[in-house]
Structure 1
Amino acid sequence: MKAVAVFLRKLVYGWSWRQAGLVALSGVLMAIALPPWSLWPLPWVGLVPLWWVVMVTPSVALAAAYGLLWGLVYYGISLAWITHLHPLMWMGVPWLSSIAIALFAWIFIVLWGSVCIAVWGGAIAWLTRRWSGRSLWLVLAGAALWCTLETLRNYSPLDWSPLSLTQSPNNLWILHLTRLSGPQIISAILVATNGLLAIAITPHPGGSRSASVPSSSRRPFALTACALVLASHLLGALLYAQATPVSPDQSLALGLVQGNVPTREKLTPQGVRQALQGYTEGYLALVDQGVDAVVTPEGALPQLWNPNSPQIAAILQTVGQAGVPLWLGTFAPVPGEGRPQYTQSILELRADGQYHGRYNKVQLVPLGEYIPFEALLGRLISRLSPLESYLVPGQPVQQFETSVGKGIVGICYESAYSRLFRRQTRAGGEFMVTASNNDPYPVWMMMQHHGFDVLRAVESDRWALRVTNTGLSGLVDNHGRTLWLGEPQTYLIHRAELERRQTLTPYVRWGDWLTPLLLGLTVVGWWGQRRSFL
């Protein structure tokens, strides 16, 4: 306890409200670069205040605290849509408990991201004091560490708002760099550019005047930053200009139905009837328009899959009569003994009354679809899922085999997990479909979700069809251009023309090779720094 008290005392005495204000400003600038504002030029300078503050702060603990503050601002703003979970009274949750659940979900994921930035800030402050005169290595280390932390967080159950999302969906030239090494290449360039600019305005890194960098020595860092911005955009433009033609027989017509049945309604008997009617009518209308298959959103029919149930039997009969495959979002059983288990799935129903292609959601929503640390939290938290059974995740490597070719599928917030799409693309996926509910979240969350789908389409060189319950449904080509975007909170159907593609980008072939390369170069710099003291 005494050590904690000493630590807190140092933080209080060393805290500068001026520097805290700069860090908070940096967090705000980066947050408003995300959709829906999409002010994508801001991130090219928005991290400079954070870099500057952690470099001039002599205390590692204080620099970590500033990093935590940046994360609280950035993630707090960008993830505020999570609070729209409230109200949950329609599920029988008391008003106060509904508020508590929404706030807990928001605060927890915000803190999860903020801790990562705290680690980054403390590490940069520590390296700044030890790498005096080796500023380029410091920038390299900052980019490597940021990418590493984002990568590790992307392997966790919760992730959102990476730096790459600040450039989507509008800065298409930079987005095309993801074809080389995935979304981390954008994070690396943004962090490095801001680090170079911060060094150019930092006379005393590490807070020590003995480590002062002359202005004549700092000027090249600003020029290097400008050159990095220019070179990255030129390279992205070259990648954007590349075109790999496909033959006309590779075209594909898919129809989508945006059911617009709010979750609080579709879990009632009346809501089930409304969903059944809306998706059946939309399916038949699209069949008349001439499509190869019809796609529905995540959980379009909120029932456990049972071909003998009246609702599912009616859908199977409709598909059997029309003869066009239907890709239905539902809950499919997992074979096995013990208590019933189900997956959040997309099933391809065909005219023979059976499902053939199947994709099972891999990245389940904590608390919503399963309880993490169930032994500890199971008795304290009631699940928000409508199911009384347990949802289990699908296998990380899946293939959605359909009557029209191999699809690449993502359900709900799996759009934030690039590796899931890369695996399916490498396995032969020719086109991309993402299916989401997105209720009860606001339109600006839907715009962030769309930004992720644009990233996934560009990095994999695939066309992407996005189908949702309440919006935003849309169509994106392989260069990230949004060709159609539906109105939110509206029932609609749409016929979309896609291309089936078989190209493999460097990222699809080799994954994120840049992050380990940056880490390796950082280790080389560390080794060289240690040798200089021997």
Structure 2
Amino acid sequence: MPVQAMGDDRRLVGVTALAGALAGLSLAPLGLAPLLWLALVPLWSCGPAAAGLWGAAAVLVSHRWLLWLHPLDWIGVPGPLSLPICLLLWLGCGLAGGLLVATWSALVRRLGPRHFATALVACGLWGLTEVLLATGPLFWIGLGTSSLPADRPLAGLAALGGAGLVAAVQLLISWFCWHSLLASGASRRGWGLGLVAVLLLSHGLGWSQLRADQAERGAPFRVLVLQPALPTREKFKPERQRGLLVQIAAARSQAAALGVPLLLPEGTLVLGQAMPEADAEVLSGGFRLEGEELRSSVLRFLPGQTQASGWVDKSRVVPLGEWVPLARLWRWSGLSAVGGVEPGPPSRLLMRSGADPAVAICYELADGVALRKASAAGAGWLMASANLDPYPALLRDQFTALAQMRAIETGRWLVSAANTGPSLVIDGQGLVRNALPPEQSELGVFELELLSRATSYQIWGEAPLILMILLGGAGCFWYRRPRSGRSH
């Protein structure tokens, strides 16, 4: 290979890796969709190896909050092993992301990236893959949420086809950007006009889903949210648990005095812990036994009751963090103070006497499919219960963006009760209506509306992505079919 060509290849690899890092930065808290569109452009030119570096860089930058797991001495990991374990987890996530993007790039190269049919297949597959990964245990955030908080009109497409459709459209925008940069003269003007048309159409469709005059008005509903702000590394100490019960008891009494029907504390009750008695219903995080299996749950305590009478178990548990394969055989509960948790049923619907919520516990908020199904089954609002300590503000901002996306997808108001924040309420159009200050022990009354309208995403799910793939696949087949009159 000529020396100049080798130098050009190295530069392309370097540019692609830098673009991946910019893609990771484009997610919340920035939420700068145009930065992502530019960062995606090199993926249409490079090979699988460079694309793998793009994916690894994007994940390592966007998931850098994983390094805040260190130190792990509070769960029994020796100090010298703590940082290497955290680094391996972080690097493992980057490697997985790189392999996925490299596989995607290999398919694009095979089909030919310059064809519009290829772009449809590639964009649809990327979006659908993000959706499918989010239903499993190893996914947190992807391109679909990068439009928040800065570009809500584009995020409005989630009401039509979910976060996967938002990711696919952003890839399609980058494809038009790529062609516009490659072309010259009249051809460049044509591709530029195509890019403008895609931008106007996507933002117009998204904005049509978020218009205030189109919003449904629902029955008002009030909740009292307790944000205890307990350090995770101390949360399960006996004195901290006693302090938490005092906070919950005071909050439950205040809810009854204010006439607020429901208290939402982010308080992880230990197994068998009784709830302080008061005349207010409580939905609290805690643990329970199902046979011999330990479950992490949101527990429902009726007014005046001290024992839970209903619950939703966490279904999407963290591998090695909560769920450890064959943990009873090799006597390790995992990288968590609550290790050894088993997954519960997939349904996120918590039945109450009216105003049933769809519940997301911790990183289950990344799974839009489960909350869509619960909303379609009758949930009138969404509840997120999370403990994001000891992670930095970066993770809280990503959590807020995911919460906004879930609200837009389902057309439901969402209330988050989080240990150190974000404790907030978001309306069905993805706007944050109220929030408690982070990192502080706070109590706040949030007002929301119970909604029943069905978004297109609730009805059709990922059908737009599947249609995009089918149309693109048909176009690829037509382009590759033998032409009549071809010379022999």
Is TM > 0.5 for Structure 1 vs Structure 2? yes
2:9 maps to 1:16: yes
Cα distance in 2 between the residues matched to 1:481 and 1:454? 7
4+ long deviations beyond 4 Å: 12-15
Shift of 1:123: 1.7
Instruction: String of CA shifts for 1:399-428, please: whole Å, max 9, x gaps.
Output: 201244211110001111101100100000
Cα distance in 1 between the residues matched to 2:122 and 2:305? 57
2:248 maps to 1:255: no
| Residue matched to 1:239 | 209
| Residue matched to 1:347 | 299
| Residue matched to 1:412 | 362
2:245 maps to 1:276: yes
Cα distance in 2 between the residues matched to 1:50 and 1:333? 48
2:456 maps to 1:506: yes
In structure 2, relative to structure 1, the CA distance for the partners of 1:353 and 1:92 (3 Å cut) is closer
Any idea what SS the aligned residue of 1:518 has?
helix
Instruction: String of CA shifts for 1:433-477, please: whole Å, max 9, x gaps.
Output: 100011111111111011100000011111110110111111111
Instruction: String of CA shifts for 1:87-133, please: whole Å, max 9, x gaps.
Output: 111233211211122112212222222211111122222222xx7xx
Question: Which has the larger displacement, 390-399 or 288-297?
Answer: 390-399
2:68 maps to 1:117: no
In structure 2, relative to structure 1, the CA distance for the partners of 1:202 and 1:142 (3 Å cut) is farther
2:146 maps to 1:137: no
Amino acid at match of 1:427: A
Q: TM-score, normalised by structure 2?
A: 0.92
Cα distance in 1 between the residues matched to 2:376 and 2:386? 23
Instruction: String of CA shifts for 1:35-84, please: whole Å, max 9, x gaps.
Output: 12232332233311222x32xxxxxxxx1111111111111000000111
Amino acid at match of 2:236: L
Q: Which residue among 71, 83, 98 is the counterpart of 2:55?
A: 71
Cα distance in 1 between the residues matched to 2:98 and 2:243? 42
Any idea what SS the aligned residue of 2:88 has?
helix
| Residue matched to 1:323 | 279
Instruction: String of CA shifts for 1:206-228, please: whole Å, max 9, x gaps.
Output: xxxxxxxx754454222211110
Q: Which residue among 349, 364, 386 is the counterpart of 2:337?
A: 386
Amino acid at match of 2:235: K
Amino acid at match of 2:241: V
In structure 2, relative to structure 1, the CA distance for the partners of 1:86 and 1:15 (3 Å cut) is farther
| Residue matched to 1:467 | 417
Any idea what SS the aligned residue of 2:309 has?
strand
Any idea what SS the aligned residue of 1:344 has?
strand
Amino acid at match of 1:155: T
- Does the 8 Å contact 1:66/1:121 carry over to 2? no
| Residue matched to 1:37 | 30
Cα distance in 2 between the residues matched to 1:352 and 1:268? 25
Cα distance in 1 between the residues matched to 2:440 and 2:175? 45
Amino acid at match of 1:341: E
Q: Which residue among 172, 179, 184 is the counterpart of 2:164?
A: 184
Q: TM-score, normalised by structure 1?
A: 0.85
2:486 maps to 1:486: no
Cα distance in 2 between the residues matched to 1:101 and 1:489? 27
Question: Which has the larger displacement, 460-469 or 262-271?
Answer: 262-271
| Residue matched to 2:268 | 301
2:243 maps to 1:291: no
Question: Which has the larger displacement, 94-103 or 453-462?
Answer: 94-103
- Does the 8 Å contact 1:199/1:221 carry over to 2? yes
Cα distance in 1 between the residues matched to 2:65 and 2:171? 26
- Does the 8 Å contact 1:135/1:199 carry over to 2? no
- Does the 8 Å contact 1:85/1:440 carry over to 2? yes
Cα distance in 2 between the residues matched to 1:94 and 1:302? 27
Amino acid at match of 1:122: A
| Residue matched to 1:208 | none
| Residue matched to 2:311 | 358
Q: Which residue among 26, 38, 59 is the counterpart of 2:19?
A: 26
Shift of 1:295: 0.6
Cα distance in 2 between the residues matched to 1:38 and 1:140? 24
Cα distance in 2 between the residues matched to 1:94 and 1:365? 21
| Residue matched to 2:388 | 438
| Residue matched to 1:82 | 66
Any idea what SS the aligned residue of 2:182 has?
coil
| Residue matched to 1:429 | 379
- Does the 8 Å contact 1:266/1:274 carry over to 2? no
Cα distance in 2 between the residues matched to 1:516 and 1:286? 47
Any idea what SS the aligned residue of 2:445 has?
strand
Cα distance in 2 between the residues matched to 1:385 and 1:201? 48
Any idea what SS the aligned residue of 1:201 has?
helix
- Does the 8 Å contact 2:223/2:261 carry over to 1? yes
Q: Summarize the alignment of residues 197-236 of structure 1 with structure 2, pairs less than 5 Å apart.
A: 197-202=177-182, 216-236=186-206
In structure 2, relative to structure 1, the CA distance for the partners of 1:115 and 1:533 (3 Å cut) is farther
Any idea what SS the aligned residue of 2:337 has?
coil
Cα distance in 1 between the residues matched to 2:234 and 2:310? 29
Aligned length: 478
Question: Which has the larger displacement, 275-284 or 420-429?
Answer: 275-284
Amino acid at match of 2:57: V
| Residue matched to 1:452 | 402
| Residue matched to 1:400 | 350
| Residue matched to 1:264 | 233
Instruction: String of CA shifts for 1:259-293, please: whole Å, max 9, x gaps.
Output: 11112111111221122122222332333333110
In structure 2, relative to structure 1, the CA distance for the partners of 1:441 and 1:138 (3 Å cut) is same
In structure 2, relative to structure 1, the CA distance for the partners of 1:520 and 1:380 (3 Å cut) is farther
Root mean square deviation of aligned Cα: 2.2
In structure 2, relative to structure 1, the CA distance for the partners of 1:151 and 1:38 (3 Å cut) is closer
Cα distance in 1 between the residues matched to 2:331 and 2:66? 21
Cα distance in 1 between the residues matched to 2:202 and 2:77? 50
| Residue matched to 2:445 | 495
- Does the 8 Å contact 2:51/2:101 carry over to 1? yes
- Does the 8 Å contact 1:415/1:452 carry over to 2? yes
| Residue matched to 1:370 | 323
